[in-house]
A and B are shown apart, each in its own frame.
Chain A
Amino acid sequence: MATQTKDRTRITLREALSEALREELLRDDNVFIMGQEVGVWGGTYAVTRGFYDEFGERRVRDTPISEMVIVGAGTGAAMAGLRPVSELMTINFAFLALDAMVNHAAKIRYMFNGQFQVPLVIRTTTGGGRQLGATHSHSPESVFAHFPGLLVVTPATPYDAKGLLKSAIRCDDPVLFVEHSTLYQTRGEVPVPEDEEFLIPLGTSDRKRQGSDVTLITYSRGLYWCLEAAEQLAKEGIECDVIDLRCLRPLDLSLAMESLRVTNRAVVVEESLPHFGVASEVIAQLQGACFDYLDAPIERVSAVDTPLPYSRELEQSALPSTEKVVAAVKKVL
């Protein structure tokens, strides 16, 4: 249940997303939602609950189970002047829509010399930790962030989720908006719904905790492992500066670099697999820009390089954790 003060309301990340979508549907008739179970059912994660009755089937469209169609039709609609929000039930199924995302949505503007734009948002969920087995537990954001032309947004808090989703819908570029499946019930403060102009610029990182001993750089669910680790380490007198990337493309490392020049030590935390991942890219860029400031090699905490198993114990041991972040921080100190 939401609680409200004068200019802030405390809601779940699910409610924040729902507010963002509803406000943008009300603001712009060109915005519409399409995807599997988004209409009558109200969305797999109940983000669009009630929208079908409020906005009708023209604005909230149920589609067949075909990710290629959901993204392909969205791309065409965006090229024709609409602002679709295509929903893929999970990012695991986004592989089926890779051609529409990577070869069409992300490249059309470039291939046609700027004559077309694709203001398409693709909402999806990511992440493991729920015993859904190897094929339904991926965190493959870096696969999509690999391609120029496609933006990748990875919010962790209700505040960021709402402000970034509203900005994504208003953006003239295709945006993959990646929500973590374990964070929908996370609560936090956001501006009251009447604040239509609450927008967070895409491609901007954010400091979530101030500290001067070590820099923790992360995104999505990794933020919570980092904040818990920072809390534990503070009891030992170690202060962590926690930087939330919020977007993987465009990748804003300005805060991380500013922090690293003070702390001289850093750990990058991601839920993804370690090979060719977000941490690899972040570390490569930081070492290039801040080499003279480093007092230790930058550490990374990633998932173990394996498909995620079904067994709860094995899955948890494969994923990053607060304890693994604490251990990595102590390694760089």
Chain B
Amino acid sequence: MHLNKSKKIKLEELDEIERDVLEEMEEAERFAMESPLPKPDSLTDHIYATDFERNPA
């Protein structure tokens, strides 16, 4: 409200931002729920960018 009172943003613009955020969140939720569960062998993917050789043990 401070931004609105200090005339930096209109209430309609704040509503639009809120609508956009909500839409993005709902899309993310939809994507997550429709996606398959991760495969067990992906457990250690992306820990490192570098492909270090595995310890021979």
Mark A residues whose CB is within 8 Å of B: 109-110, 113-114, 117, 119, 148-149, 151, 171-173, 202-203, 250-254, 257, 285, 288-289
> How many A-B pairs fall under 8 Å by CB?
46
The reply to whether A110 and B55 form a contact with Cβ atoms under 8 Å apart is no
The reply to whether A110 and B49 form a contact with Cβ atoms under 8 Å apart is no
| Interface of chain B: mostly helix, strand, loop or mixed | loop
The reply to whether B50 and A252 form a contact with Cβ atoms under 8 Å apart is no
Q: Cβ of A288: which chain B residues have Cβ within 8 Å of it?
A: 57
A-B contact pairs, 6 of them (CB 8 A): A110-B47, A149-B47, A202-B52, A251-B55, A252-B55, A257-B57
Mark B residues whose CB is within 8 Å of A: 44-50, 52-53, 55-57
For A252, the closest partner residue in chain B by CB is B55
The reply to whether A113 and B49 form a contact with Cβ atoms under 8 Å apart is no
Q: Cβ of B48: which chain A residues have Cβ within 8 Å of it?
A: 109, 149, 151, 173
Contact partner, B46, options A113, A252, A253, Cβ 8 Å: A113
User: Chain B's nearest CB lies how many Å from the CB of A199?
Assistant: 13
Among B45, B52, B53, the one with the most A-chain Cβ atoms within 10 Å of its Cβ is B52
The reply to whether B56 and A257 form a contact with Cβ atoms under 8 Å apart is yes
Docked complex Cα distance between A39 and B49 (Å): 30
Contact partner, A253, options B44, B50, B52, B55, Cβ 8 Å: B55
| Interface of chain A: mostly helix, strand, loop or mixed | loop
The reply to whether A173 and B57 form a contact with Cβ atoms under 8 Å apart is no
The reply to whether B56 and A254 form a contact with Cβ atoms under 8 Å apart is yes
The reply to whether A173 and B49 form a contact with Cβ atoms under 8 Å apart is yes
With A202-B52, A203-B52, A250-B52: A109-B57 Cβ-Cβ less than 8 Å = no
The reply to whether A117 and B49 form a contact with Cβ atoms under 8 Å apart is yes
The reply to whether A110 and B50 form a contact with Cβ atoms under 8 Å apart is no
User: Chain A's nearest CB lies how many Å from the CB of B22?
Assistant: 22
For B48, the closest partner residue in chain A by CB is A173
User: Chain B's nearest CB lies how many Å from the CB of A289?
Assistant: 4
The reply to whether A285 and B55 form a contact with Cβ atoms under 8 Å apart is yes
Q: Cβ of B52: which chain A residues have Cβ within 8 Å of it?
A: 202-203, 250
User: Chain A's nearest CB lies how many Å from the CB of B53?
Assistant: 7
Q: Cβ of B44: which chain A residues have Cβ within 8 Å of it?
A: 148
Nearest 3 A/B pairs, CB to CB: A172-B49, A114-B46, A289-B57
Docked complex Cα distance between A257 and B56 (Å): 9
Other than the known A202-B52, A250-B55, A289-B57, what 16 A-B pairs have Cβ atoms closer than 8 Å? A109-B48, A113-B45, A114-B49, A148-B44, A151-B48, A171-B49, A171-B50, A173-B49, A173-B50, A203-B52, A203-B53, A250-B52, A251-B55, A253-B55, A254-B55, A285-B55
